[in-house]
């Protein structure tokens, strides 16, 4: 019989229970025991839900209080000395490594955080050094397996595989000559030890995720896969069934290393890469192995076409004469990237809701496909309703706007090119702004206080009038402007008190978007987002941000930046359509933003920032034509949005938490860019931008951490940057927006940052 599997389930809770408990613990309002109890309750809910639906392979160890990769770092004692020296308990060590910790007896920054492949999830990068004592340092996977077992639920524990764990890590700043993959021999016995303990606890199956198999791997990494799974397979078979799992792309270039491994089965993502099917089935004998078919999308919210998916799996069985017992129907990846339950949505148009499927519904889809393949007629009504939904979406007039399509078709090179090159623009801009050396600014948002959230909620519910809400927003903008003037920032922002989210705020004002009430997805730690959903062609009916920007500029003589979210970020941080290509969606967004940029300029806003933090996230995972094509159309979309202004208007952009290529940023032709830098400890990173022609600000403090950097720390960091980067082109700014911080931290951090900039102005003045 065909079986069903889920690779991972959201851990946040249907009502964000984990966020509330975790942040309560950080604030001292929730005890450790209370936080642990919430985690236990959420795990139990998730397991029981999947059991009740009928999933055969239910995951465990997919829960985390912060990040699953960080959990593994603690499990294997990959803990830099700067954390272990404080003798914190495991939970506080986890949080210190993930977000930093500063209190009377502890002062430590967070580890580097980067995007998980091409998703908007952020993981904490494992950081290795020569002196680390790698050992088993806990029992989380075993504890959670036993927890489920006590409930009468047999789970399949999930671990990030050894090669991915090492490949996705980096050497610490004191061990830069260390290649993490060289540590494989030290970690294989640790994996064996953990899995042996799981076997002793009663586990019969284990899921080892090796998502790096969809990347361009060098021979050393390929050899490591062969070595790792020969070691684990021979050491642990037949005591446990190892399922080697990949997702987010094709494994075809690395298929040679998978052919003869002693594992029970393989999982592949056929949502992202259905074209890999024949190559896989010709390379691996699935009469001997189990094939897990990732056919229900773990990354998007569109309802699965059940008939099409069932036919796809049946064709595999028929064409290759495979036994049904060797087939597993599964989610393409963990469902971590999707909201928890569509039944929590009560205000969306019911016709549109019928097109969607969240994590809970995706579990139902997986099981329904498996049952249909097994000839179970109980799912016939489900398939009929599904076909009706798929057909309704395909034929809906909501998805098509002829005027938008014609406008996209008319885009040409002229539309995407500034009137003059940067070397000419910068001369004009210097005369207009007359900024000092080391100009200071922030990225955009200021703290979203409880008062702001309360008033926004009142406005949404209609308990205050639009006029009352506008008066409140103006008072918040003035507060932010006066604070920035007081501490001496040079280029100001209005603070964004009116904005709920940097994509949602604009999406709510564009035609073609839909929005959820409870469609929360974890981005990192306790930071959850509600990605908007692109349901049709996109356009801007009226100005979206001009009113607030104009008001902010009217109450100060200093320049105030207009703040917009760029087309690639609006696309990547939404759930995109799956019925047209992403380039078309990006260009539709770029035209809507072009209209907004030109309206801001016409209203007297002289500096406009169009943020693209998701630019690198969208880069295809493998080098080649697809990647170069993406960079071409992504840069084109940004330039279409920004190139319609005069030379005197300064265009800024911002990027964060990614490994960036200066050539990609150069292609945007922004006048000034700001880049997350505070967690970077590679001395070569600054050098990569040495020849970047335009102006740049490397972020000087981590806005995801409550820790406050001192003036001396800022000075030391800038000193290091100036060893490589020219002072005349360097801006001083934080890593990212400040909406998640409180005012106390914000005031101290920005004051210290501005004081450091003043220090360098004096220093360079004296040199002159």
As a whole number of angstroms, the distance between CA 217 and CA 639 comes to: 33
Tell me the mean pLDDT in the region 117-121: 93
What was the pLDDT predicted at 420?
A: 97
- Residue 707, domain member (yes or no): yes
Residues 563 and 575 in one domain: yes
Residues tagged in the binding site annotation for 5-methyltetrahydropteroyltri-L-glutamate: 19, 120, 573
Kindly tell me if the per-residue pLDDT of 121 is higher than 70. yes
Backbone angles phi, psi at 241, to 5 degrees: -90, 115
- Residue 402, domain member (yes or no): no
Residues 566 and 624 in one domain: yes
**For residue range 717-733, what is the model confidence (pLDDT) as tens digits?**
999 899 888 999 999 99
pTM of the full predicted structure? 0.91
- Residue 105, domain member (yes or no): no
Residues tagged in the binding site annotation for L-methionine: 443-445, 496, 611
Q: Which residues of 228-243 are buried (b: 16+ CB within 10 A; e: fewer)?
A: bbebbbeebeeebbbb
Kindly tell me if the per-residue pLDDT of 482 is higher than 90. yes
Of 599, 620, 617, nearest to 550 by C-alpha is 599
Contacts 24+ apart (CB under 8 A), 626-635: 631/664, 631/667, 632/667, 633/583, 633/586, 633/587, 634/568, 634/586, 634/664, 635/664, 635/667, 635/668
Ramachandran area for residue 462 (φ above 0: left; ψ -120 to 50: alpha; else beta):
left
Of 366, 302, 737, nearest to 561 by C-alpha is 737
Coil vs helix vs strand at 4: strand
Query: Are 573 and 614 spatial neighbours (Cβ–Cβ below 8 Å)?
Result: yes
Query: Are 761 and 437 spatial neighbours (Cβ–Cβ below 8 Å)?
Result: yes
Coil vs helix vs strand at 255: helix
Tell me the mean pLDDT in the region 196-223: 98
Which structural domain range is residue 521 located in? 407-434+499-548+557-651+660-675
Q: What is the CATH number of the domain that holds 453?
A: 3.20.20.210
Residues 604 and 750 in one domain: no
Kindly tell me if the per-residue pLDDT of 611 is higher than 90. yes
As a whole number of angstroms, the distance between CA 486 and CA 465 comes to: 32
Q: What is the 3-state secondary structure (H, E, C) of 112-144?
A: CEEECCCCCCEEECCEECCCCCCCCCCCHHHHH
Residues 596 and 723 in one domain: no
Residues 484 and 536 in one domain: no
Q: Which two tokens stand for residue 164?
A: 């991915």
343 Cβ neighbours under 8 A, 6+ residues apart: 360
Q: Which two tokens stand for residue 329?
A: 């129907």
- Residue 515, domain member (yes or no): yes
* Residue position matching structure tokens 């075993």: 142
CB atoms within 10 A of CB 705: 24
What was the pLDDT predicted at 402?
A: 93
As a whole number of angstroms, the distance between CA 289 and CA 278 comes to: 16
Q: Over pLDDT 70: what percentage of the chain? A: 99
CB atoms within 10 A of CB 726: 11
Q: Which residues of 579-615 are buried (b: 16+ CB within 10 A; e: fewer)?
A: ebebbbbbbbbbbbbbbbbbbbbeeebbbbbbbbbbb
- Residue 236, domain member (yes or no): no
Query: Are 187 and 209 spatial neighbours (Cβ–Cβ below 8 Å)?
Result: no
As a whole number of angstroms, the distance between CA 766 and CA 761 comes to: 9
CB atoms within 10 A of CB 625: 8
**For residue range 445-475, what is the model confidence (pLDDT) as tens digits?**
999 999 999 999 999 899 999 999 999 999 9
Single out the residue in 675, 709, 732 at which a domain terminates.
675
Q: Which is more confident, 506 or 691?
A: 506
Of 26, 28, 8, 24, nearest to 16 by C-alpha is 24
What was the pLDDT predicted at 681?
A: 67
Residues 684 and 714 in one domain: yes
Query: Are 495 and 445 spatial neighbours (Cβ–Cβ below 8 Å)?
Result: yes
What was the pLDDT predicted at 705?
A: 85
Q: Which two tokens stand for residue 169?
A: 């890590």
What was the pLDDT predicted at 617?
A: 85
Beta bridge partners of 209: 160, 245
What was the pLDDT predicted at 657?
A: 59
- Residue 272, domain member (yes or no): no
Judged by average pLDDT, the poorest of 183-187, 212-216, 596-600, 692-696 is 692-696
Q: State the burial class of residue 130 (Cβ atoms within 10 Å of its Cβ: 0-12, 13-18, 19+).
A: exposed
Of 144, 132, 138, 64, nearest to 98 by C-alpha is 64
As a whole number of angstroms, the distance between CA 577 and CA 300 comes to: 9
Residues 611 and 749 in one domain: no
As a whole number of angstroms, the distance between CA 188 and CA 204 comes to: 19
Query: Are 671 and 652 spatial neighbours (Cβ–Cβ below 8 Å)?
Result: yes
As a whole number of angstroms, the distance between CA 674 and CA 693 comes to: 14
Residues 521 and 644 in one domain: yes
Residues tagged in the binding site annotation for Zn(2+): 654, 656, 676, 736
Whether 122 sits among the annotated catalytic residues: the reply is: no
CA distances from 352 to 382, 402, 705 (A): 18, 20, 38
- How high is the mean pLDDT of the chain? 95
As a whole number of angstroms, the distance between CA 342 and CA 347 comes to: 11
Of 172, 249, 262, 170, nearest to 216 by C-alpha is 249
Residues tagged in the binding site annotation: 19, 120, 443-445, 496, 573, 611, 654, 656, 676, 736
Alpha carbon 385 to chain centroid, angstroms: 33
Residues 751 and 730 in one domain: yes
Kindly tell me if the per-residue pLDDT of 321 is higher than 90. yes
Residues 617 and 680 in one domain: no
Tell me the mean pLDDT in the region 286-314: 97
Kindly tell me if the per-residue pLDDT of 660 is higher than 80. no
Query: Are 696 and 673 spatial neighbours (Cβ–Cβ below 8 Å)?
Result: yes
Indicate the pairing of strand 58-60 with strand 205-209.
unpaired
Kindly tell me if the per-residue pLDDT of 659 is higher than 80. no
The H-assigned helical ranges of 420-558 are 422-433, 450-461, 466-487, 504-507, 546-554
Residues 685 and 671 in one domain: no
- What is the Cα Rg of the chain in Å? 26
As a whole number of angstroms, the distance between CA 528 and CA 525 comes to: 8
Q: Which two tokens stand for residue 580?
A: 């047209």
Q: Which of 267, 337, 494, 704 is catalytic?
A: 704
The H-assigned helical ranges of 30-161 are 32-53, 68-75, 81-84, 90-99, 140-150
131 Cβ neighbours under 8 A, 6+ residues apart: 81, 175
Q: State the burial class of residue 696 (Cβ atoms within 10 Å of its Cβ: 0-12, 13-18, 19+).
A: buried
Query: Are 603 and 629 spatial neighbours (Cβ–Cβ below 8 Å)?
Result: no
- Residue 503, domain member (yes or no): yes
What was the pLDDT predicted at 322?
A: 96
- Residue 248, domain member (yes or no): no
Residues tagged in the binding site annotation for L-homocysteine: 443-445, 611
Largest CA distance in the chain: 84
Q: Which two tokens stand for residue 168?
A: 């996705």
What was the pLDDT predicted at 767?
A: 78
Q: Which two tokens stand for residue 683?
A: 């001395």
Residues 520 and 669 in one domain: yes
For the chain, the domain total comes to: 2
* Residue position matching structure tokens 């059991």: 51
Give 397-446 as a DSSP string: GGG--HHHHHHHHT--TGGGS-SS-HHHHHHHHHHHH-PPSS-B---SB-
Q: Which two tokens stand for residue 374?
A: 């097994």
**CA geometry: angle 240, 244, 247, nearest 5 deg:** 150
């Amino acid at each position: 019989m065909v079986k069903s599997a889920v690779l991972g389930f959201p851990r946040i809770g249907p009502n964000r229970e984990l966020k509330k408990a975790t942040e309560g613990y950080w604030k001292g309002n929730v005890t450790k025991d209370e936080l642990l109890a919430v985690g236990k309750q959420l795990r139990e809910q998730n397991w029981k839900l999947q059991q009740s639906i009928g999933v055969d392979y239910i995951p465990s160890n997919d829960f985390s209080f912060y990040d699953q990769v960080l959990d593994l770092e603690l499990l294997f004692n990959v803990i830099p000395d700067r954390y272990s020296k404080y003798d914190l308990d495991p939970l506080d060590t986890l949080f210190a490594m993930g977000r930093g910790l500063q209190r009377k007896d502890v002062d430590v920054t967070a580890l580097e955080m980067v995007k998980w492949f091409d998703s908007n999830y952020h993981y904490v990068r494992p950081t290795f050094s020569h002196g680390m004592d790698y050992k088993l340092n806990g029992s989380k996977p075993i504890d959670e397996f036993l927890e489920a077992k006590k409930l009468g639920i047999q789970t399949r524990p999930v671990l990030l595989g050894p090669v991915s764990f090492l490949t996705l890590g980096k050497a610490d700043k004191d061990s830069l000559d260390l290649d993490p993959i060289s540590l494989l021999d030290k970690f294989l016995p640790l994996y064996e030890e953990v899995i042996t303990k799981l076997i002793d606890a009663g586990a019969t199956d284990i899921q080892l995720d090796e998502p790096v198999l969809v990347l361009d791997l060098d021979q050393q990494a390929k050899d490591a896969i062969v070595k790792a799974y020969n070691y684990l397979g021979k050491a642990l078979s037949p005591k446990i069934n190892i399922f080697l799992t990949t997702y987010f792309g094709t494994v075809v270039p690395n298929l040679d290393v998978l052919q003869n491994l002693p594992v029970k089965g393989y999982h592949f993502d056929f949502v992202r890469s259905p074209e890999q099917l024949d190559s896989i089935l010709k390379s691996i004998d699935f009469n001997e192995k189990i094939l897990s078919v990732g056919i229900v999308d773990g990354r998007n919210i569109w309802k699965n076409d059940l008939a099409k998916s069932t036919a796809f799996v049946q064709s595999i069985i028929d064409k290759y004469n495979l036994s049904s017992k060797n087939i597993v129907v599964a989610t393409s990846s963990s469902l971590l990237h999707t909201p928890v339950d569509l039944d929590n949505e009560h205000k969306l148009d019911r016709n549109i809701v019928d097109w969607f499927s969240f994590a809970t519904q995706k579990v139902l889809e997986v099981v329904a496909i498996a049952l249909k393949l097994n000839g179970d007629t109980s799912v016939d009504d489900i398939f009929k309703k599904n076909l009706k939904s798929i057909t309704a979406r395909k034929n809906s007039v909501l998805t098509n706007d002829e005027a938008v399509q014609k406008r996209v078709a008319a885009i040409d090179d002229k539309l995407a090119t500034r009137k003059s090159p940067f070397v000419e623009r910068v001369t004009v801009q210097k005369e207009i702004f007359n900024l000092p050396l080391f100009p200071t600014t922030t990225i955009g948002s200021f703290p979203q206080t409880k008062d702001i959230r309360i008033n926004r909620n009142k406005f949404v519910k209609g308990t205050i009038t639009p006029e009352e809400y506008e008066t409140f927003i103006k008072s918040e903008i003035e507060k932010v402007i006066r604070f920035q003037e007081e501490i001496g920032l040079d280029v100001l922002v209005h603070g964004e008190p009116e904005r709920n989210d940097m994509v949602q705020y604009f999406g709510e004002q564009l035609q073609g978007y839909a929005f959820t009430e409870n469609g929360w997805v974890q981005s990192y730690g306790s930071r959850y987002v509600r990605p908007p959903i692109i349901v049709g062609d996109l356009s801007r009916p009226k100005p979206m941000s001009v009113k607030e920007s104009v008001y902010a500029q009217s109450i100060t003589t200093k320049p105030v930046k207009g703040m917009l979210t760029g087309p690639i970020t609006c696309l990547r941080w939404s759930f995109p359509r799956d019925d047209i290509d992403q380039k078309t969606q990006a260009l539709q967004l770029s035209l809507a933003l072009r209209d907004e940029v030109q309206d801001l300029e016409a209203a007297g806003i002289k500096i406009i920032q169009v943020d693209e933090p998701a630019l690198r996230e969208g880069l295809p995972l493998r080098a080649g034509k697809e990647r170069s094509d993406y960079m071409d159309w992504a840069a084109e979309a940004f330039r279409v949005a920004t190139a319609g202004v005069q030379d005197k208007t300064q265009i800024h952009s911002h990027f964060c938490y990614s490994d960036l290529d200066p050539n990609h940023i150069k292609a945007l032709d922004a006048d000034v860019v700001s880049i997350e830098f505070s967690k970077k400890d590679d001395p070569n990173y600054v050098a990569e931008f040495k020849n970047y022609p335009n102006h740049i600000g490397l972020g000087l403090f981590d806005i995801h951490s409550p820790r406050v950097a001192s003036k001396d720390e800022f000075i030391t960091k800038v000193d290091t940057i100036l060893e490589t980067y020219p002072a005349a082109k360097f801006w001083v700014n934080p890593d990212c927006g400040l909406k998640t911080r409180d005012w106390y931290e914000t005031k101290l951090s920005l004051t210290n940052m501005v004081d450091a900039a003043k220090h360098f102005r004096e220093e360079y003045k004296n040199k002159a």
